[in-house]
């Protein structure tokens, strides 16, 4: 989650990051899949920030948005 916060803060600054309402919902480290919540108004900003992540904890990495959903029920039923 540090990498996500770092990317959002780098692109939009601390004020911009505070508007996103980012929070971690679930993290499946075995599948390397995590679920984050953000407000709908800042979805595009968060997506763009996630695409700019190139390393996590000093290791080369990339983050891909697999599914976007309005509710957790729909999210887990679709994915």
Partner 1 sequence: MKRTFADLHLRVNPKDHDATQRLINKAAKFGYHFVSVPFAAEFSESQLVDLKNACSQAGLDFVSRADFKPRNQEDLMRFLRKFRRKLEVICIICDDKEIARQAAKDRRVDLLNFPSLDYHRRFFDRAEAELASCSQTALEVDIKPLMIMEGPPRVRLLSSLRREVAIAREFHIPIVVSSGVGEEHLMRMPRNLASVAYLFGLNETEALDAVSTNPIAIIVQNWEKMSSAFIAPGISVLKEGQDP
Provide the binding-site residues for partner 1, judged by CB under 8 A.
10-11, 44-45, 47-48, 50-52, 54, 60-62, 64-65
Instruction: Please say whether the beta carbons of 3 and 57 come within 8 A.
Output: yes
Nearer to partner 1, 64 or 73 (CB): 64
Please state the closest distance from residue 26 (CB atom) to partner 1, in A: 20
Non-local CB neighbours of 76 within 8 Å, separated by 6+ positions: none
CB of 48 to partner 1, least distance (A): 5
């Amino acid at each position: 989650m540090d990498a996500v916060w770092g990317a959002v803060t780098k692109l939009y600054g601390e004020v911009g990051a505070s508007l996103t309402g980012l929070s971690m919902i679930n993290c499946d480290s075995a599948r390397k899949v995590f679920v984050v919540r953000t407000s709908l108004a800042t979805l595009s900003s968060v997506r763009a920030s996630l695409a700019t992540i190139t390393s996590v904890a000093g290791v080369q990495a990339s983050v891909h948005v697999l599914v976007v959903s309005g509710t957790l029920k729909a999210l887990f039923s679709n994915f």
